[in-house]
Structure 1
Amino acid sequence: MDFQQTIQQLINGLGLGSIYALIALGYTMVYGVLRFINFAHSDVLMLGAFSALYIAPKVEKVLGPQSVTGAILVIVFSAAVCACLGMLIEFLAYRPLRNRPKLTVLITAIGVSLFIEFTCQNDAIFGSATRAFPKLLPEQQFHLGKIVLGSNDIIVPVVTALLLVGMWFIVQKTRIGTAMRAVSFNQQAASLMGVPVNRIISFTFGLGSALAAVAGILYSMKAPGIEPLMGVQPGLRAFIAAVVGGIGNLPGAVLGGLLIGVLETFAGGIPGLSNYRDAIAFGILILILLFKPAGLLGRATIEKV
């Protein structure tokens, strides 16, 4: 692999890793507040993509095809739909089990995920067939020698960076972010201090689901098509990315996503390793759990028995 091929693979890996990072941000936000993994998060990604599929034609009738304003509106509306769905899932499925053992909540999360997937495969809803995703923006390519840089390769990392900055600002510089950190540290003490715990947890689920919707749209812009099981593979890799970076740590989620995306892309371009690219993420996960269980940017904590 020569220098230009290396740069090309790096560009492709950063684009893929940025999508993993966006999904991982949703995982890590929910874990940071509630200390459990919302495995239905990957299916919210799928719902975000299908929301955009139905919203895009209506926006296109008003603003015309492939406009920047139209693409922004499609993303905003889809994120709002998924935010509402995320809060509904939390209210119906997770809130009644909040004081139950973590294993109970984990099994429920897997059940919610399977329920969404198989319900959406019904012909009365989305059906199991793969559908073409609409082009929200005109695609352009820039050639630097043998290096090809697509417009999507620029948009995805930029959007991820902006959303990471936005998440950091919300968590660190706003009153609701302070409340989120208080609930994460000690839910009972936060409740005694007047923090509306239920509202904060619902907001966290809504914010994480909105991120999943954005990730689903960006992923679909580069994917050949969308279908009800499309969130399984990227969601699993994003979960691994969150663990690798340090689950509960926002910059760690982004670092883990970029790392998994770049390594997976490089493995796919090396003869002899391309057949093992799916095993790369799981191999990294095993190594992290063996030698640095808290993740690259996570902190080890002591839990009372």
Structure 2
Amino acid sequence: MSMLGQYIFNGLMLGVIYAMVAVGFTLFFGVLDVIKFSHGDTLMVGAFAGLATSLWVTSLGITSPWVQLIAVVISAVCVTGLLGAVIARFLILPLHKAPPLNTLLATLMLGTVLREAVRLFYPDGSNPKPFPALLPTGAMQFGSFSLRADSVILLVSGIAAIAGVHFLITRTRLGMAIRAVAQDGETARLMGINFEAVVLMTFALGSGLAALAGVMNGLYYSEINFNVGLLLGVIGFAAAILGGLGNIYGAILGGFLFAALQVFGSAALPALFPHIASAYKDVFAFAAVIILMAWKPTGLIAEKSSERV
């Protein structure tokens, strides 16, 4: 039972990170019908911005972990939110009327540029970087099951961030403008909505959420590297497709489902096939997603066609 509890908690922890990335893909697709393949690398930039901020704050003689954590989160979200808005303004919007493959290729190449820029210009960027432990390290014991305080804080924070984005989308004037642009951009313009400003805010919001996911990933695994956004981006995109691209609830469901498949694969594969290591969990998860997509091509929560007329 303790092992089962550990697997469930690990799945929830991974699921909330994947869901945060998937929600960004859904927001981008919702407002402009584009796939931003540099999203994972934008996440990586946010994680490195947070790490650089932590080192800078430490160099000032500020040793309080909570002060460092606040500075890390604010800097990562602001830097990555600004980066997302700049990408939208100077790359996505100019290609809005171009064939979708143009935007796909441009963002794919941009992701490579971001990744290689960090690898080449960040000090010793080719090697993994230790991420500072800024959260309490205590643990609560439930029999042989150990529940770490830092993991609980990360899980609650991730759920709160997703809930905050959902509240913003469904209960605020900005969210109403985002939903109006997502439903019909031309009509939204005629109604007086600043189309470009809404797009920039949406890309900043999705990118800032990804930065928070990158910081959480660094705190959870205690390290980051310049390739961290590559796998997280692919998983986030797969989760968004699995749940139903364009549907925020589908993105959340897809993120947790993908994490559940990974955790199940890491536990079941060595037990059923002793010669197969738990490292094949990604292979198992992606194979399962392919089967689910073949069974349900529109995603588990298909977007209503009437909303996109």
TM-score normalised by the chain length of structure 2: 0.91
Residue 196 of structure 1 pairs with residue 194 of structure 2:
yes
Residue 293 of structure 1 pairs with residue 297 of structure 2:
yes
Match of 2:255 in 1: 257
Q: What RMSD, in angstroms, separates the aligned Cα atoms of the two structures?
A: 2.0
Match of 1:208 in 2: 206
Match of 1:54 in 2: 52
Q: Is the partner of 1:50 in helix, strand or coil?
A: helix
Mapped partners of 2:61, 2:302: distance in 1: 46
Q: Is the alpha carbon distance of 1:29 and 1:125 closer, same or farther for their aligned partners in structure 2, counting shifts above 3 Å? A: farther
After superposition, residues 116-195 of structure 1 pair within 5 angstroms as: 116-123=114-121, 127-195=125-193
Q: Which amino acid aligns with 2:65?
A: Q
TM-score normalised by the chain length of structure 1: 0.92
Q: Is the partner of 2:297 in helix, strand or coil?
A: coil
Q: Given that residues 12 and 153 in structure 1 are in contact (C-alpha distance below 8 angstroms), is that contact kept between their aligned partners in structure 2?
A: no
Residue 64 of structure 1 pairs with residue 63 of structure 2:
yes
Gaps in structure 2 of 5+ consecutive residues: none
Select 2:10's aligned residue among 1, 9, 12.
Answer: 12
Mapped partners of 2:307, 2:155: distance in 1: 36
Mapped partners of 2:307, 2:176: distance in 1: 23
Aligned length: 301
Match of 2:33 in 1: 35
Offset, 1:239? 1.1
Offset, 1:9? 0.6
- Shifted more, 136-145 versus 96-105: the winner is 136-145
Offset, 1:204? 0.5
Select 1:76's aligned residue among 74, 77, 81.
Answer: 74
Percent of residue pairs identical: 34
Could you give the per-residue CA deviations for residues 3-36 of structure 1, whole angstroms, max 9, x where no partner exists? 2211111111111111111111111111111112
Match of 1:235 in 2: 233
Mapped partners of 1:70, 1:116: distance in 2: 25
Mapped partners of 1:173, 1:189: distance in 2: 21
Q: Given that residues 78 and 213 in structure 1 are in contact (C-alpha distance below 8 angstroms), is that contact kept between their aligned partners in structure 2?
A: yes
Q: Is the partner of 2:224 in helix, strand or coil?
A: coil
